[in-house]
Structure 1
Amino acid sequence: MSPRTEPDWTTRPVPGARPRVLIIGAGVGGMATGCYAQMSGMDTRILEKHVLPGGCCTAWSRDGYIFDYCIEWLVGTAEGNDAHRIWRELGALDGKTIRNFELFNRVVDENGRSVTFYNDPDRLEAHLLEVSPADARLIRSFCRDLRRFIGIELYPFLKPAALRTPRENLALLRTVLPAFRLFWRTAATQMHAFSDRFQDPLLRRAFRNIFFQDHEVFPLLPYLFNMAAAHNDNAGFPQGGSLGLSRSIEDRYTSLGGAVTYRARAEEILVENDRAVGVRLKNGARYYADHVVSACDGRTTVYDLLGGQYTSPRIDRLYNEMVDRPGMMYPGVVSAFAGVRGGLDPGEPHSTTYLLSESDAARLPGVLQGSVVVQNRSHYSDGFAPPGHSVIHCTYLSDFAYWKSLRVADRRTYRARKIEVADFLRHFLERRHPGLGERIEVMDVASPATLERYTGNLRGSILGWMSFTEAEDLVSGTVNKERMRLPGLRGFSQAGQWAGMGSLIRSAASGRFVVQYLCEELGLPFRAEESPGTGPWNPDRLGRLPQLDQWRAR
């Protein structure tokens, strides 16, 4: 096949030529949009303000260590399901090994009592009964439901509901109906209400932290769904981690003929006669296309790039009401990475949530919950540390406004609070693992304000809107009713986490959905082909990693 001529994006599209699509943001959603559009016969260009692909799905380097920021588990790592099919189409897992764990998370309280959430329901049940025989009925109920979820494969990420054929809807019903009561009951039972029924005080708190932190509004369903996926090796960790996933999708995109322009900050979406016709960058450059897709921050798109001209009561409620209601958005996260001389105990779980005493919690700046998650990142994948060294990742949920106000008003105090985080965690790790503290060579702390600065995400939220809330219902309306468009604006779509919700598989699926809607509009056949693969993964493919800034704590 002869190479196509790259279109001149600074001029208007020529009628009758291949459709041209401009995409704002090289996150997973933006790159997925580009991949599927290229496969479906369109020319695309992605405009990215950063120097790396991936958005939040990223990593950075410090003194020879790689600090992997995003993935804790990735739905779709096992073959034979629709989620895996999307990653194969995007080349995300090409040549990579997958690390699966026997447990989802361990929770340890202030007194050293612990509970381990094994993915195997038989092992989990036996362990929990040892912890609290008095809670046998609730324990057996949870493990019985987990066994049922293990036998269900439901990953509706291939096509939006509005485009499914009657045959496809019937196939979905055949999966859903036999387990309808299970889905309904576990979706209607809040985890907090369920866990409060335990007699053992550790179990009451531990169940809330299966997903590392307490997702306060979640029902039982997502816990059972993801633990079942992990049991089926379908929620593993891909070699290369977060930036490795993004680089692989970028490779797939460029191999399909797409192009990414980095250091290209969008300033305005150009609109003529209620149709998006292009993008103006901060440096004044203008790019033109038949269709514009925004895969960056949702509020920035609607109210800044488009000046608030194309909204609806649903959208205004999201960005003017839901953002201020508790439990509608995922809170910000403080991430602290420790580069460690020597190895880590291979017998230690890969992930542990430590429930903090009141005195310890009071020492963590901006803390929202009295807990810290400690992950042995060197157990996840190779290449994150120099030979003979290791990486630990510590996180806690934190108040964005606290960090943002400090950074704006008093940069010196902002940095001092980061040092307080590093000092606390160094001593905390030393208390739990004597000798570890003195082996820490470097610590690096990223606040929610850091995330906002480098990705533009509203209030420094990694995942955006919280699932199983009224906010999710409003977002679903933009996918199904508005078809990922804005009312009154033609030639425009939204993809990414703010349009498709926060998880990586849903962000990738949002790009697939956008292109399916666009193909229907343009009368083009939608095409999706699996990546041919590019050989074994090598850490060198991460490329040159920038440092977030010159701050560090030694």
Structure 2
Amino acid sequence: MPPERLTDWSRPASPGGRPRVAIIGGGVAGLAAGCYAQMSGMDTLILEKHVLPGGYCTAWARKGYLFDYCVDWLSGTGESGDAAQVWRELGALDGKEIAHFEMFNRVMDETGRAVTFYNDPDRLERHLLELSPGDAAPIRRLCRYLRGFADAHPYPILTPPPLKSPREKLSTALATLPLLPLFYRTATTQMAEFAERFEDPLLRRALPNIILQDPVGFPVLPYLYGMARAHNGNAGFPEGGSLGLVRSVEERYTALGGQLACRARVDRILVEHDRAVGVQLKDGTRILADHVVSACDGNTTINGLLGGRYRSPRIDRLYRKMLHDSDNLFPAAVSTYFGIDGPVETDDPHSTTYLLRPEEGARLFGGLQHTMVVQLFNHYWEGFAPPGKSVVRCTYFSDYEAWKKLRTHDRREYWSTKRRVADFQRGFLDRLYPGTAERIEVTDIATPVTAHRYTGNHNGTIFAWKPFSPADDEVTKLINRDRMRLPGLAGFSMTGQWVGMGGLIRAATTGRFTAQFLCDEFGLPFRPSLSDGGGGRWHRARLGHLPQLDTQALRQLNSRSAGEAENSDSGGSHAT
């Protein structure tokens, strides 16, 4: 965005003009809020601190490879349902092919014994019974639950509860009433507890890893809900991956007249007489608006940009108590990418979780579990690698503080630790696919510290608050009771995962909710519209400029000489 256009926002709006809304953060939630506000007659400006929009939903280029950071599957890729409607309104999937997989994930133990979690409940039941006939009773119950979700209509998500009419509330209640027994049984039974009903040791350990890694504390419901959506073709992988999704929504936003400023770091929210009137950027630029929306990290918003001045018992419980209990936050992760010269010759599926021996798990620094996910990214989309080449990603849940302490106090050891993690994973891949290690052309690692530096997300968490945790009820009330506002502060609201829980569709939905609440405040009709898909067939060039970020950091990680790494300075990079 040209600087002179940013200057336009440094002056008060003309009386009687369109309401002006400044949005802090250009992730999926911020972009969605901007799109829906523009559709409904507002002028918006999104301020994003990074070099491109997307937040966690991003990718970056390394020597011709594209390393995707976010999407493993996307809810709402089908033709029907509220989630699909949201993506069609945002233009997120315009012109794109969707990759669908017959299985959600495979889990393999240390001996090479594996279980495949097919999305088709009939096929899954046959497979599990072949693996463990003695577990027939819990297997049939699991698959009966899965059939129930496969036959169910998704929960309506288009309108926030406070704005639903009595008729809409009744319609929602009638639609969900038949599902209540299924929801109750699967929402009140922890997956770890359900897994203990199985005699087979592999199944007991594998079930909590259906959704790639064990999020700990999740009930049965989200596992089966995701599998059912995938079975119905409503949870696939979109062409272009994470950055492709963001670029499409960005195109939709700018086509609607929205303005986006990158490299625009907000320093504080301007407040006059307990009303937000704009923001001030790090460089001193003041942006004035009728309403300010924060679509960035919740703790940064409340305790940083607003200086902790606007609180309530609920906000205090969330940000003074629950925020510091790791059980309430979705974990952070370490993601290592390998760009490989040539194909990976295998019949393995797109995703496998490996259950590691303790001595192997100990080599994954900061690891929270002795597991590692290996994803063959060419199965998702061929555009992630140059022709004839491949991308493999290895991921594991990891502790933020361990990496933060290392990077803060001993930068050389930080780099050495990353190298050791990558060396272990390189060797692991070479055992899986002999000859792979010598064909690796580029290696890149994003740690929890990387995630925090580039997104601002507290402790590098992937999805902010953990669903089904004690924080869940409190966060739900931020929408249902507080309308995504803070007590005592007018002209301000929050959106994104810190008020709507995790997942990209939830982030997009909170953006929609934000616009609906704004329309209610400004007396405007909410006017969502479907994208006309005018861009035609999607192609890789529409990813636009791909950030290379710090190539010096890349050289450090890929250097085979520890001395060379120690004698280099580690600059800012997505690999740092």
The two structures have a TM-score, normalised by structure 2, of 0.94
Q: Tell whether the 8 Å contact from 2:345 to 2:433 is kept in structure 1 after alignment.
A: no
Q: Tell whether the 8 Å contact from 1:444 to 1:551 is kept in structure 2 after alignment.
A: no
Residue equivalent to 2:292: 292
Q: Within 2, Cα distance between the matches of 1:269 and 1:491?
A: 11
Instruction: Give runs of aligned pairs for residues 449-528 of structure 1, distance below 5 A.
Output: 449-528=449-528
SS in 2 for 1:453: helix
SS in 1 for 2:227: helix
Residue equivalent to 2:16: 16
Q: Tell whether the 8 Å contact from 1:265 to 1:282 is kept in structure 2 after alignment.
A: yes
Residue equivalent to 2:372: 372
Residue equivalent to 1:35: 35
1:238 aligns with 2:234: no
Q: Within 2, Cα distance between the matches of 1:475 and 1:547?
A: 37
Q: Which amino acid aligns with 1:535?
A: G
Q: Which amino acid aligns with 1:118?
A: Y
Q: Within 1, Cα distance between the matches of 2:97 and 2:526?
A: 30
Q: Deviations over 1:326-371 (max 9, x none)?
A: 3210111000001011112362100000000011011111111000
SS in 2 for 1:276: strand
SS in 2 for 1:541: helix
Q: Within 1, Cα distance between the matches of 2:80 and 2:368?
A: 39
User: 1:346–1:361: structure 2 CA closer, same or farther, 3 Å change rule?
Assistant: closer
SS in 2 for 1:140: helix
1:551 aligns with 2:553: yes
Residue equivalent to 1:98: 98
Q: Within 2, Cα distance between the matches of 1:494 and 1:196?
A: 40
Q: Within 1, Cα distance between the matches of 2:62 and 2:491?
A: 42
Residue equivalent to 1:139: 139
Residue equivalent to 1:213: 213
Instruction: Give runs of aligned pairs for residues 246-261 of structure 1, distance below 5 A.
Output: 246-261=246-261
Unaligned runs of 5+ in 1: none
Q: Tell whether the 8 Å contact from 2:75 to 2:236 is kept in structure 1 after alignment.
A: yes
Residue equivalent to 1:382: 382
Q: Within 2, Cα distance between the matches of 1:259 and 1:346?
A: 46
Q: Tell whether the 8 Å contact from 1:373 to 1:395 is kept in structure 2 after alignment.
A: yes
Instruction: Give runs of aligned pairs for residues 418-433 of structure 1, distance below 5 A.
Output: 418-433=418-433
Residue equivalent to 1:179: 179
Q: Deviations over 1:282-340 (max 9, x none)?
A: 00000100000000110000011001011111111112211222321011100000101
Q: Within 2, Cα distance between the matches of 1:381 and 1:6?
A: 37
Q: Within 2, Cα distance between the matches of 1:423 and 1:6?
A: 46
SS in 2 for 1:124: helix
SS in 2 for 1:535: coil
Residue equivalent to 1:107: 107
Q: Tell whether the 8 Å contact from 2:155 to 2:176 is kept in structure 1 after alignment.
A: no
Q: Which amino acid aligns with 2:400?
A: F
Q: Within 2, Cα distance between the matches of 1:98 and 1:271?
A: 45
Residue equivalent to 1:444: 444
| Cα RMSD for the two superposed structures | 1.2
Q: Tell whether the 8 Å contact from 1:83 to 1:155 is kept in structure 2 after alignment.
A: no
Q: Tell whether the 8 Å contact from 1:421 to 1:445 is kept in structure 2 after alignment.
A: no
Displacement of 1:8 = 2.1
Q: Within 2, Cα distance between the matches of 1:157 and 1:249?
A: 19
Q: Within 2, Cα distance between the matches of 1:345 and 1:194?
A: 36
Q: Tell whether the 8 Å contact from 2:295 to 2:496 is kept in structure 1 after alignment.
A: yes
Q: Tell whether the 8 Å contact from 2:95 to 2:538 is kept in structure 1 after alignment.
A: yes
Q: Tell whether the 8 Å contact from 2:279 to 2:286 is kept in structure 1 after alignment.
A: yes
Q: Which amino acid aligns with 1:465?
A: W
Residue equivalent to 2:392: 392
Instruction: Give runs of aligned pairs for residues 27-426 of structure 1, distance below 5 A.
Output: 27-345=27-345, 347-426=347-426
Q: Within 2, Cα distance between the matches of 1:310 and 1:271?
A: 11
Q: Tell whether the 8 Å contact from 2:215 to 2:331 is kept in structure 1 after alignment.
A: no
SS in 2 for 1:405: helix
Q: Within 1, Cα distance between the matches of 2:438 and 2:157?
A: 47
Q: Which amino acid aligns with 1:242?
A: S
Q: Within 1, Cα distance between the matches of 2:215 and 2:425?
A: 23
Q: Within 2, Cα distance between the matches of 1:181 and 1:82?
A: 22
Aligned residues: 550
Q: Deviations over 1:377-427 (max 9, x none)?
A: 111012110111010011000110000111111111111111011100000
Q: Within 1, Cα distance between the matches of 2:426 and 2:143?
A: 37
SS in 2 for 1:61: strand
Q: Tell whether the 8 Å contact from 2:102 to 2:119 is kept in structure 1 after alignment.
A: yes
Displacement of 1:6 = 9.6
SS in 2 for 1:321: helix
Displacement of 1:532 = 0.7
Q: Which amino acid aligns with 2:525?
A: P
Spell out structure 1 runs of 4+ moving beyond 6 A.
none
Q: Which amino acid aligns with 1:542?
A: L
User: 1:367–1:6: structure 2 CA closer, same or farther, 3 Å change rule?
Assistant: closer
Q: Tell whether the 8 Å contact from 1:154 to 1:175 is kept in structure 2 after alignment.
A: no
Q: Within 2, Cα distance between the matches of 1:222 and 1:345?
A: 33
SS in 1 for 2:328: coil
* Identity score, percent: 60
